Every structure is written in C-alpha cells, then in structure tokens.
A and B are shown apart, each in its own frame.
Chain A
C-alpha cells in the first residue's frame, strides 16, 4: 500500500459518538487525501491536504474535520457520527511528478 498505514482497520460506533481515523505515510510526500467508498458510488473525496498545515474540502466534507499537524500524518475526525457515515474510508498520498495517488488499506466504519 505504498507506505500508507491506516488505523483502525474496523470500527463500530453508536450514533452521536466521535472518533478519529488515523493515516500515516513513511515517504515524506506533501499531498494526502481522505476518501469514502460506498457501494455503487465509487470513491468520493472528503478532504485533502496539499502540504503540512493546509487542508481543503473535497466533494463530501459535511460531518467531517481533518487535521494535518505534520507532514507524515493526516487524521479524519467524526465529531458526532451518523448512520449515513457508515462507509469504508481510504487515505491516499500523491507521489511522483503527476496526480498519481496511492491508497492505504482502508478503515471499515459502521455507525449504528
């Protein structure tokens, strides 16, 4: 998975609970991304970070916050989880000269 690690692998939450999904890279790349994957909808960008200390909204940012405190880590936070946030979440990095993105193994989140 191109040096991208995600924790946890699985998580079950109750509606209203909060949690943070962690992503870390070991390749010193600037750009990092958070996607969610739902059946029949492909991958949709939640937030991305072009460099340490900067973040920007993607296609579906509502209900999420992110933090890029250092170059290596990019976290995704759900402040008050909702059943609609049940999904598989992928972190990705951009490596190389162009928009080549490499994905982590994913976190499967269920909100009851």
Chain B
C-alpha cells in the first residue's frame, strides 16, 4: 500500500518568513495530493490540493509543488502570520475509484511573532 512520509515534524519560523513542509510518497500510481490544516481541538480542513497532471498550484500565500519523478510534494507558505500556526498534514491517493487517502504524520508549525 501507499506510504507517505512528512518532514519536519515541527517547524518554527519568524512571522513574515516562509515555511516549507515536504512529503514523499511510495506508490507511483498516486495522483491526488491534498494538504490539510488542523487547529487545536478542530477537525482537519483542506487548504489546497494538487493533481498529478499539474506541477504547481498557488492560492494567495499558499502553494504546493509536485515532482512526480521523485515522488515528492511540498507545501509553501509565504509571508507567514500568527494564524498560520497549526498542524499541517499531507496526504496521497489514487483518484478514480480508490477511496482511501493515506496521510503523513503531520508538521506542527509555530509562527514566532
């Protein structure tokens, strides 16, 4: 089955700086890669996703890049703000028929004011 590894497990950045979280996956058939943000005491919330026919996707301060050859994808947050502090999870799945998302173990991001 799919295996997703996520690094780092914790990350602290100064407010205004950029943060990068990286994930690798094992199954070359995976073609859908979402990122979730989880605030304390709440359920994970989808913040951005990318499919394997695209190399990069941006949404305001958030971007995701995908390298299919190397089987890794990354989340980039620019101009970080205190409200970006949370736990972030990456995930991978095969679209069209496979119902299962495999999650990374999470990154706790702390923005230092």
Contacts and interface: CB of A to CB of B under 8 A. Distances in A.
Interface of A: 1, 4, 31, 33, 40-45, 48, 50, 56, 58-59, 90, 94, 98-106
Indicate the member of B42, B44, B103, B106 with the most A CB atoms within 10 Å.
B44
Contacts of B9: 40
17 contacts: A4-B43, A33-B99, A40-B106, A42-B105, A43-B44, A43-B89, A45-B100, A50-B99, A56-B99, A90-B43, A98-B49, A98-B51, A99-B34, A99-B101, A103-B43, A103-B45, A105-B42
Interface size class of B (residues with CB under 8 A): 20 to 34
Closest 6 CB pairs of A and B: A103-B43, A42-B103, A42-B105, A43-B103, A99-B93, A103-B44
Nearest to B92: A99
